[in-house]
Structure 1
Amino acid sequence: MAQNLADLFEHAVDAVPDRVAVIDNGRHHTFADVEGRANRLAHLLAESGVGEGDHVAVHMHNDVDALVAFLASYKLRAAAVNVNHRYRVEEARHVYSDAAVRAVVTQPDHADVAHAAATAIGATVVVSGTELDTALEAQSSERDFGERRDDDRFLMYTGGTTGAPKGVIWNHSDIWRVLGGGIDFYSGELLADEWQQSRSAAESAAAGATQGMRFLMLPPLIHVSGLLPSLGALFSGNTVMYEPRFDASSVWDVVARQEANILVITGDAMALPLIEELRSRAAAGTAVSVPSLLAISSGAALFSPALKAQMLELLPTAAISDSIGSSETGFGGITVYSSADTSFARSAYSGGPRVPAGRGATVIDDDGVLVDAPGEGWFAKTGFLPVGYLNDPVKTATIFREHDGVRMVVSGDRARLESDGSITLLGRGSQVVNTGGEKVFVEEVEGHLKAHPGIVDATVVGVRDERFGHRVAAVVSVVGPAVDFADVEAHLRDRLAGYKIPCAYWVVDQVQRTPSGKPDYRWATEISRGGAPTHDRLHPAT
């Protein structure tokens, strides 16, 4: 056997076949159910010509069949290709073509786009629903596949906010170690072998436990922050729950009804509407009661300290875990917060997350030398790493480097090594505003903006300036019909140097984000170029 994602899932199936693996919009599916359907789909894909090393596009929103499509691909030693279900034809065609997919698995809602995008490359399109159910009935549910390997290819497309999506290639054993539970996230200890997760599930079942922990997965499965936590939970015999779309007004009902233990989110984009829903219900006298909820787990996007504190105030018995990482680095560190200590929310810096160093996480300077004293540099990761980018050796050589014989990935995030040895992420190097020679990391400004009670959400960008090259600006959504920008400026001046304070604001009904919850900087830049700002402190209206 191998440290392969398909094998790891099959270990869990053998350990606890009758446990509920997936709750999909209220429907329960056991491990045996999911296994049988994944085997049938794998056989159907094999009939269409999919085999070892081929690529299968998974163009779907969250449901049990989306998970099954990933598993079926891995069972064939094929690489599943995640495709954003919001893509239009040209965007989907780019990913299909770049990955040279042999087959596409999609849903009726996205079938028209999938068919149009697949035509140019002659890929087979499989659409879930009644037609797929009928086709699968004719397929075997047996697990009669060949032996798999540690280095079978795992492919995850990333990007789209700063450029065209690009495929990151991992070996199965490495992606399992960093994001699938093959390492203890808190201690950094490696699991003994690929059986340890399923052994724990079998032992709990032998002790009388009929179910494991229940994870409500809100991030999309087509993002690493949704897929890998799902797989890691399943490998240990736990249950994952999916809803067709993120809807803050129903999430708390689902948590209560399905007795979720862990709520998985992506930063502020999900935390903010969830907090607003909690407050709205409390004000209406229908406060949420979720005694089963133990923790809110966030990753892949900024979770502002101010919002963490608000969430803990509303749910004082739950903890918050905030982790850093990316498709290129995998897991980079985690910090846990509780209502017993919210001092982090009052710290002078409210930008990106701060995590303990170690587990391969480090900071390097512009010359690639490890930073061994407090100071700024680039976030880097050693240890279990991707092979590189698909079809892009130049980009691979730029991001994946070697220093003193140690291979590392330098993801483009600016970071600061703190005096206590921890690492604070400052923001993407590509999202730095250079204003008169001073560098402003937009996530730092966004964090402080969202800490103001009048600001709901914010995305910070640079706007052209004749004197300084660029100045800092922000696209924001606000509480109520208006916000006092003089008060916002006073709030920021207590926390930021003057050159970091936005000179102009564009107020919108809702700040747009990507499906993974990350800021959509291209959209915000277009907003800033599309018309006069709502508030301009340098050129006030007369």
Structure 2
Amino acid sequence: MNAAIATALAAARSGLLVPPPPARWPGVLDALFTGPRGIGSLVRLSAARHPDRVAIVDDEGALTYRELLAEVDAAAAALHYGEGVGALGTVGIMCRNSRQFVVALLASTSLGADVVLLNTDFRDRALAASLEGHDISLVICDAEFEAIVGAVPATRTASPGARDQGHRAPSSPREGRLILLTSGTTGTPRGVPRDPDVRTVLGMTASVILRTGARTGMRTMASVPFFHAFGLAGLLITLGLGGTLLTCARFDPASALERAAVHEADALLVVPVMLSRILDAVPEGSETSMPRIVLSGGSALLPSVAERFTRRFGDHLYNGYGSSEVALATLATPSDLRRSPGTVGRAVAGATVAILGDDGAAVAPGSTGRIHVGGAPAVGTYTSGQRKGEVAGLIATGDKGFMDRDGLVHVTGREDDMIVSGGENVYPRALENVLAGHPDIVDSCAVGVPDEQYGQRLAALIVADTERLREPDLRSYLKDSLSRFEQPRDVHFVSAVPRNAAGKVDRRATTALLVQLSLEASS
């Protein structure tokens, strides 16, 4: 669907076109036509329409839109007059999900400063590279991160709770950019600049609204970190719709579901590993209800997890696919997942998704190739100046997959995860999909390791109840489900799979763990 048509339909169906009471029209007009266009103007528009509606519920309690704007203005004054933040500068934010993250973000961009969203898991190499690569001398961070940020040379920290009620910060002719960082699990994190003009993501936003039925005033339980593209999008869509953002600093299945239930959440945002933890935490046959929309994204949704969730809770599950570089590219609905569990669905409005072969030409339906995405939200150049691979204006996502005859996209794995074992191309995800379907396996991952005879082989890390699951039983289970070359040569039972804050497997940490396990086995 054309992005402009989708946007018009979404605006009408979501309730955005319903006019506010006449007394609020001056504030709405001011938000629409005064100041720079960007995420700040979206929030100010929602505040003008619904000043006394609760905007955020976090671990500190509730905050209305009127109170949120007052906090943002006071924080902007503190950052400008106390820390020298202004247009053309760059600051970092390293905060867990809370009102403080939102306030720091809106205050900084309103001053015209670019904002780099720092992963709360970054340490040492990744953190230093991110700060030095973006010339960041000031990081707004929670108290728990002050020491690790302060250890980076020429870097100072500021509290996200700083406020200046006595001054008003100067207005900026433009909002600052948002710079998202790639996960850095296999290398140095790279910065993806996002234009503050929200028009670039209207098609994506419209598709989310149309496919999920999201409406103004919706209440969203966001368990995904706000520094992640998925979490940030959920934050901005909810506040842009004049809704209530519910969140917790740290994810716990019981706490998240309780907060969602108490506030009658319409939507729950999770990464796939959180879905697994919810399924494990909620007893079979319990009365636990789910929000109408459960949106999964950020990493691969294993088919067995999708099937378990749908079987337990019904048709609430949606599955998104994208990246920091291409934003949301596809979205699967519950009916799509019923038809094909694990699919990432169809392209969102304004996005072009193509599966290309090594020669750059589109492959036939059902054939595996490289996934490429184009459209207004796609960013092909990193802040370093390095360019992402492109073919005819379409950006390579780094994933391989195929499109079936119904137009549904399927991701088979990362290009750099594929191994060649004994002449066969092997994707670890095939093994991970089967492992996830075993009732005694809580979590797992598979990676390639060097092999003198076959070149490479698969190794599996498994979190399981080892009183019930033994390696011989596991191998018997896998033998009936996978080809010979997809079988893991090494199986390691571990207490936890290394994952980052966004739920993705940390490949660097996983490799280090495998080396440690191999040394222990040989000693």
Classify the TM-score, shorter chain: 0.7 to 0.9
Partner of residue 125 from structure 1, selected from 154, 157, 165: 157
Structure 1 residues 320-329 or 298-307, which shifts more?
Answer: 298-307
Q: Which amino acid aligns with 1:383?
A: G
Contact 2:117 2:178 in 1 (8 A): no
Distance 1:178 1:496 in 2: 42
Provide structure 1 residue ranges, at least 5 long, that are not aligned to the other structure.
Answer: 189-196, 202-211, 346-351, 537-542
CA contact (8 A) 1:158 1:166 kept: yes
Superposition deviation, residue 26 in structure 1: 5.7
Give me the whole-angstrom Cα distance separating, in 2, the residues matched to 1:341 and 1:225: 20
The equivalent position to 1:356 in structure 2, one of 343, 346, 350, is: 346
Which residue pairs with 2:281 in the alignment? 277
Cα distance, 1:342 vs structure 2: 4.3
**In 1, Cα distance between the equivalents of 2:337 and 2:98?**
37
| Structure 1 counterpart of 2:329, from 309, 313, 332 | 332
Within 2, Cα distance between the matches of 1:372 and 1:51?
A: 51
- How many percent of aligned residue pairs carry the same amino acid? 24
Contact 1:478 1:507 in 2 (8 A): yes
- Does the 8 A contact of 2:343 with 2:408 survive in 1? no
Structure 2: 5+ residue runs without aligned partners? 1-32
1:497 Cα deviation after fit = 1.9
Could you tell me which amino acid in structure 2 is paired with residue 366 of structure 1?
D
Deviation, structure 1 residue 98:
1.0
- State the distance in 2 between where 1:432 and 1:64 align: 41
The one-letter code sitting in structure 1 at the alignment partner of 2:281 is: E
Q: How far is the alpha carbon of 1:400 from its aligned partner?
A: 4.2
SS in 2 for 1:529: helix
Query: What CA distance in whole angstroms lies between the structure 2 residues aligned with 1:423 and 1:534?
Result: 42
In structure 2, which of residues 73, 96, 104 is the aligned counterpart of residue 61 of structure 1?
96
- Partner of residue 34 from structure 1, selected from 61, 68, 82: 68
> What amino acid sits opposite 1:23 in the alignment?
V
Report the residue type matching 1:360 in the other structure: T
Q: CA deviation at 1:448?
A: 1.4
On the 8 A contact 1:485/1:535 being kept in 2, the answer is no
Question: How far is 1:9 from its partner?
Answer: 1.9
1:147 maps to what in 2? 173
Taking the aligned partners of 1:494 and 1:334, their CA distance within structure 2 comes to: 32
Q: Show CA shifts across 1:381-400 (max 9, x none).
A: 1111215101143xx1xx24
1:421 pairs, out of 404, 407, 410, with 407
SS of corresponding position for 1:467 = coil
Separation (CA, whole Å) in 1 of partners of 2:440 and 2:122: 33
Alignment deviations for residues 61-98 of structure 1 (CA, whole Å, 9 cap, x no partner):
11100111111122122221111223334532221111
* Alpha-carbon offset, residue 176 of structure 1: 5.1
1:401 to 365, 390, 397: 390
* Aligned residue identity for 1:38: V
SS of 2:301 mapped into structure 1: coil
In the alignment of these two chains, the number of paired residues is 483
CA shift in 2, pair 1:379/1:402, >3 Å: closer
TM-score by length of 2: 0.85
1:52 and 2:87 aligned: yes
Shift in CA distance, 259/335, structure 1 to aligned 2, threshold 3 Å: same
Query: Following the alignment from structure 1 to structure 2, what is the Cα–Cα distance between the partners of residues 371 and 421?
Result: 13
Matches of 1:25 and 1:521, distance apart in 2:
32
Aligned to 2:184: 160
Q: Is the 8 A contact 2:104 2:160 kept in 1?
A: no
Distance 1:78 1:322, change over 3 A: same
The whole-number CA distance in structure 1 between the counterparts of 2:309 and 2:365 is 34
With 170-179 and 29-38 compared, the bigger mean Cα shift is at 170-179
Q: Which runs of 4+ in 1 moved over 4 A?
A: 340-343, 532-536
Letter in 2 for 1:401: E
Give the C-alpha shift of residue 255 in structure 1: 2.0
SS at match of 1:321: strand
Instruction: Give me the whole-angstrom Cα distance separating, in 1, the residues matched to 2:322 and 2:450.
Output: 31
Deviates more, 1:361-370 or 1:233-242: 361-370
Q: 1-side partners of 2:235 and 2:208: how far apart?
A: 15
Paired residue for 1:261? 266
The alpha-carbon deviation at position 222 of structure 1 amounts to: 1.5
Does 2:138 correspond to 1:110? no
The answer (yes or no) to whether the contact 1:179–1:232 under 8 Å persists in 2 is no
Matched with 2:296 is 298
Tell me, yes or no, if structure 1 residue 530 matches structure 2 residue 516: yes
1:416 to partner: Cα distance: 1.2
Q: C-alpha displacement at 1:472, in angstroms?
A: 1.1
CA distance 1:369–1:53, change in 2 (3 Å) = farther
Distance 1:388 1:260 in 2: 37
Q: Deviations over 1:298-346 (max 9, x none)?
A: 1111121211222223223x510000001011111111226x984645x
Displacement of 1:402 in angstroms is 4.5
